[in-house]
A and B are shown apart, each in its own frame.
Chain A
Amino acid sequence: NAGVMQNPRHLVRRRGQEARLRCSPMKGHSHVYWYRQLPEEGLKFMVYLQKENIIDESGMPKERFSAEFPKEGPSILRIQQVVRGDSAAYFCASSPGTGLGGAPQTQYFGPGTRLLVL
């Protein structure tokens, strides 16, 4: 069973360009989470999605950032008009959803996408 896959692993963009980060969850997982790790900072939650639904986007910047998890295909984190401050490692995690009694399940992390904005 392949783990969480993210691509590209490294992405270089110039200021003003768009960045698209993809995440394929583990087989059988229907929940996806995105986190961002800025240099010298801890990981920060961005957004939690289920298929075709955004459940919690409390950590998403209000502008330029969007996320989707379509019925078919990977989850996409999209950053429009990137700025140097967007340079960070972006991690995706997936889980199978809720367990007995609605208990949240363990999140499994991908290797991350390192975004560098020139």
Chain B
Amino acid sequence: KQEVTQIPAALSVPEGENLVLNCSFTDSAIYNLQWFRQDPGKGLTSLLLIQSSQREQTSGRLNASLDKSSGRSTLYIAASQPGDSATYLCASLNQAGTALIFGKGTTLSVSS
């Protein structure tokens, strides 16, 4: 049974700092891995999707990497801003392509 773990659970940084969020998964047989952002009381916004055959994806200040052999993914945020404050969720898509398996998230707070 796939389990997805995210560390740290919470992170506070000053504006401008570069930071890394970690995600690990127990079963390397994933279809893809996705990073989402969730604002309080809101839905999920997809940030980056990495197919199982890919190693990384980039969008603006965000870079996500995937290492299937070690069961890890990282989300790198460059030059953090207060507007980046949110909960970041990592999710793997099961091999059947039917269900996303989520971690509990990392809640990020960026202070100005």
Contact = CB atoms under 8 A, between A and B. Distances in A.
* Residues of A in contact with B, size category: 20 to 34
Given A104-B31, A109-B43, A109-B44, A55 B98 contact: yes
B100 A42 contact: no
Interface in B33-66: 34, 36, 41-46, 49
Given A109-B43, A111-B42, A59 B103 contact: no
A43 B103 CA distance: 8
A56 B104 contact: no
Contacts, number: 58
Given A109-B44, A111-B42, A112-B43, A44 B102 contact: yes
B89 interface: yes
Interface of A: 4, 33, 35, 41-45, 48, 55-56, 58-59, 91, 93, 98, 102-104, 106-112, 114
